[in-house]
Amino acid sequence: MAVLTKTPQEISHMSEADVANLATRLELDDYASPFEALQDWHLLRAIAFQREDLVKPYWHLLDIEAYDES
């Protein structure tokens, strides 16, 4: 399975289909090594910081929880 790496400029030009393909790979969890999965997870997280609108349907894959620091 090919793992994607993107620059911030490439992330800004990603489409909904690109993100859907990435999310599908993460959901299938069919990687040769855990490091490949981690790279895709980091890419999805990077997309979330720049293009949150594209990641909203896949937020559950990021496993980010809100918490109260007080």
On whether residue 34 sits in a domain, the answer given is: yes
pTM, entire model: 0.77
Handedness of CA 46, 50, 52, 54 (dihedral sign): negative
On whether residue 25 sits in a domain, the answer given is: yes
Domain that holds residue 33: 8-62
On whether residue 3 sits in a domain, the answer given is: no
Per-residue model confidence as pLDDT tens digits over 27-70: 999 999 999 999 999 999 999 988 899 999 999 898 766 655 66
**What is the rounded CA–CA span in Å between residue 56 and residue 47?**
10
On whether residue 18 sits in a domain, the answer given is: yes
**What is the rounded CA–CA span in Å between residue 4 and residue 63?**
20
**What is the rounded CA–CA span in Å between residue 68 and residue 9?**
33
